[in-house]
Chains A and B, each alone.
Chain A
């Protein structure tokens, strides 16, 4: 067992974990942060995307022990004082989700994309989200939501 110290959504935790424990399972099963889902076992789907020290990563492809000393933000920690992040708001306004399973990872990836590229083109959005699969929406409303959150697209009012 290895002792790890993490800060997850603003709360400090200290735990003994097996080295093989995946960060996503640490979050979901140990800490009860079930807002971050698991969608695959080959690091393709991106549903488990969280921010690790400010950068989007697949939490299923990080060992909890690798997150020792790190700050983790999940979808549940994105809103601030009850105020939704502009990307969350835009997803709702542009109907960028249907079943919602890919949504946490998609939102966390989009927030990270906009941090590095605040005014992306449509192609840059599509490419920037290539690490996140969605089976429901066909992506178009997701792209529009990200463009809207970046302040670039008002488009058809919802």
Chain B
């Protein structure tokens, strides 16, 4: 073998060194690197994956909300051609473990054992009771029909207030349906109330929602049985957490599991979980030694994938007659469903710190009861506790304004934190670092033509127009960038909130950014490329972002809670700073200058006072690779890691204004205008931010007007398919007017705040406030969500009776 001439290698590589970047990337409307594969169908969804010898798993699910399994016989399934195996819960009892809940919110929280397949008792329609494994999905579907199960019905309980009476127990061994009671207080609410001139009380219902990410859940487990190694491909938002949990649940050594989230088609929290089918696919793959695939059908997923929201909210606000807020009291019942999935009990508590919202007050009291019912478990869905909180406070502000005869915007303005009061520690104990509610509101009012629409509203009222106009306001903030680890610990959440980034400088100066985030539509590859390109002065195209594979990106806390940019993107930036520190040391050495005299700009190192001394970062990378002429004692690498643990949550905010036309004859609601002015701090890519706002608005508006997961008294999910669960189409949503103000975060060096959930959090109350505003003169003080035509019509019938 001939000797490799390092000089020749260096010359060849030098040809590939690209020109340094000319303009800033951060803030630029960069088109996405992610798109090329997606618009041409060169995708790698989990369900696309095929392996030699791969078999298909299907799950038999209980059609009953609550029953004892008295007999289960899989033998007829086993006799069908093409069927390799069929297992009941009892068959897998020793291997399947129990699904984890990572958030024991109180020391006495009731935590029912949650086997992936039910063994003795089923507790919701959709609870899995058996699996079949067959050569293809058609054979698997047929085999399910052949399994015989006898159920002894038990009573269902779907209403939370009834469940709390403990007459019908979901888990008899727990002795109660009350999962936990979590109290929280700031200041003294009773003292505040005692001073009040007016107290307004309302009950609001947060209906149950079904996240409906476009990609159905799917998992493929590919074993190398002889080595005890398992690669798990899952449509998941949490590849790292999933790896840890699969190891703990199944007893498989953690280092023998590799989790890959291939292309993932949306999550919105519904893929932030550890699901029965992921565990079962691993257990079955272990047994059979063959790759196993499971993909849900949509209607199956409607039962088997977590639901969102589902709260009964009793809200009380106490104020002075001039509109000064004194205090807020919140009593919640939160429906857990039949079991606790990964963060089920914690979701309503995330909202606990947000009911006070952007307002100053003297006392705040919060109590949440988690309640078991015989329904699909709930868990995080876009906003996870904060939309529920924002809805309640923004609705009651409108109710208070009506009670006081005050303009609802003026009431808000009077009570919100003023721009010059930041940083501000709220009654809930959070310190909002920065914000400018005045600026966002002024911009929104102008874009909305608030005064003009109020005039039109007056005219329609005077004319008794059958179509009335309503104006709804939502001035919101949210807490995201989850989260400082110590805060999560204080709330008893099982994991930390840091995020990891590793930067690798390749010899030709190309950059690999290894991130612990797990994007599923948010554009991290593009945005992290922009961050790294700016930090390192390299071209945007020279950056490759590696993610969602625990072998390639081993360290991470994954993507949810609008955390990825605030924690993960900042980690990328800070890791790049470490690279620069190392590169500067190398450059100083090569340029024979002291480090203090070396400057870095536009991708190059220069020496103060020596105009000819210049080295590009690519040249430094190549020199590091060769390490011939290198600082004494320095490891020959520029590669650097940063694990970022945020010091605080981040607090984006905004002002949303919605105008609705309400047809008082039919109850039909049409959004006439929707304006969203959001402040998400500094923005890396405005296109991505706008897209996140649009998508968030669509889901929040859908909660206000269209979506509801309904159960009948027997626990059947009656809105069990897209036929009856109304996800809006392009024809059902308006054009949005969006704009931004930019008040940088002070808690991270990029000044970013996160945007993923903001649109959803803000929009629901803006729409409902508008509907109620349109109808208030006719005696309507609330319309339960969704504000369907029938709900509106009935509210009008009741209001007219007053």
Using a CB–CB cutoff of 8 Å, the interface residues on chain A facing chain B are: 18, 20-21, 25, 28-29, 32-42, 44-45, 47, 74-76, 78-79, 84, 88, 91-93, 95, 97-104, 107, 122, 125-127, 129-143, 157-158
Contact = CB atoms under 8 A, between A and B. Distances in A.
B729 A130 contact: yes
Contact of A41 (B34, B213, B297, B699): B297
B694 interface: yes
B29 A99 contact: no
Contacts of B721: 40-42, 44
B138 interface: yes
Contacts of A40: 216, 298-299, 721-722
Contacts of A45: 214, 298, 722
A38 B215 CA distance: 8
Interface of B: 29, 31-32, 34-43, 45, 47-48, 50, 136-138, 212-216, 263-266, 268, 297-300, 520-523, 687-688, 690-699, 721-723, 727, 729-731, 733, 735-736, 759
A38 B693 CA distance: 26
A95 B214 contact: no
A37 B523 contact: no
Q: Is the interface of A mostly helix, strand, loop or mixed?
A: loop
Given A18-B138, A74-B41, A75-B41, A97 B699 contact: no
Given A103-B39, A122-B735, 12 more contacts: A25-B137, A34-B45, A37-B265, A97-B35, A99-B265, A126-B729, A134-B730, A135-B213, A136-B266, A138-B733, A139-B729, A142-B730
A107 B43 CA distance: 15
B40 A79 contact: yes
A140 B727 contact: no
A39 B215 contact: yes
B215 A126 contact: no
B214 A139 contact: no
A9 B83 CA distance: 33
A92 B730 contact: no
B40 A76 contact: yes
Contacts of A135: 212-214, 266, 268, 695, 698-699, 727
13 contacts: A34-B48, A35-B43, A38-B216, A40-B721, A44-B722, A76-B42, A88-B39, A98-B521, A98-B523, A99-B521, A126-B733, A135-B698, A138-B693
B214 A101 contact: yes
Contacts of A41: 297-300, 721
Contacts of B735: 122, 140, 143
Contacts of A98: 266, 521-523, 691-692, 695
A100 B33 CA distance: 12
Nearest to B297: A41
A34 to B, nearest CB: 4
Contacts of B727: 133, 135
Contacts of B699: 135
A60 to B, nearest CB: 10
Across the A-B interface, the 4 shortest Cβ-Cβ residue pairs: A35-B41, A101-B265, A99-B521, A100-B38
Contacts of B300: 41
Contacts of A131: 729
Contact of B35 (A20, A44, A91, A143): A91
A158 B688 CA distance: 11
Contacts of B41: 33-36, 74-76, 104
A42 B723 contact: yes
B214 A99 contact: yes
A39 B216 CA distance: 6
A47 B36 contact: no
Nearest to B736: A140
A103 B730 CA distance: 14
A124 B50 CA distance: 40
Nearest to A124: B731
A138 B32 contact: no
A136 to B, nearest CB: 5
Nearest to A131: B729
A92 B32 contact: yes
Given A29-B136, A38-B47, A101-B45, A136 B521 contact: yes
